[in-house]
Structure 1
Amino acid sequence: MRYQEDGLPWYGLWTVRSTFAGTCGVFLGERCGDDPEIGYEVDVAHRGKGFALEAADAVTQAAHSVGHARLWATIRPRNIASKRVVERIGYQLVRRQPDAKGDLDYYLSARGGPCR
């Protein structure tokens, strides 16, 4: 329903053998104002197999294709794997700022206009 209303896709990730591997999608949160944020989580047994990269790329393209010009990814600096995923699909590090849990990096994927 969120996809039909807002163009915010959220998907389950499954292996070719129909084993649940994780989730990936776009949501509206508190960190990025009115802009949506991408999120994903891959089960430990399925990490390092390209699920996050493939899913994050597909979800980013889907959200951009329905008119979301700016998508964010917020990632803890120590989460090297997630940083690599978003960098490989074109997100750029815009800023680092602390929150209640420590530093948080803000990556932006912008289509159709300059980044603020």
Structure 2
Amino acid sequence: MGDYVFSSMGKDGNAGRICEPRKAMLRANKAAGSEVTVHGLRRTFATVLESLDCPAYPLKALLGHSMKGDVTASHYTQIGVERLRPWLEKYERFMLKLIDGRPEAKEVDTTEN
């Protein structure tokens, strides 16, 4: 496993990270003949996690949303990475089952919104 979630090979041949996801999405969409957006991927991520019963505070944290305006979340609730990890693992298991075509993964309808 590399140092980055979204790694990329630079023009100089060295491993690095994707700095501008929209450029990577344009290349991927062109290659796949699709019209997926970064926001659409975020929306799908949030929808799947919510359907897997992820509570609101971890979901907000995983999306990088501000806790401002929510006194409990911003002042009293501190969510560490280890508290978020199980939700990402649950998401990963769901997506891998979906990719494998296992019927139990298709129980969650992520097409709404």
- Give the TM-score taking structure 1 as reference length: 0.24
Instruction: Answer 1 or 2: which has greater helix percent.
Output: 2
Instruction: Answer 1 or 2: which has greater strand percent.
Output: 1
- Give the TM-score taking structure 2 as reference length: 0.24
Larger radius of gyration: 2
Greater relative CO (CA pairs within 8 A, separation 6+): 1
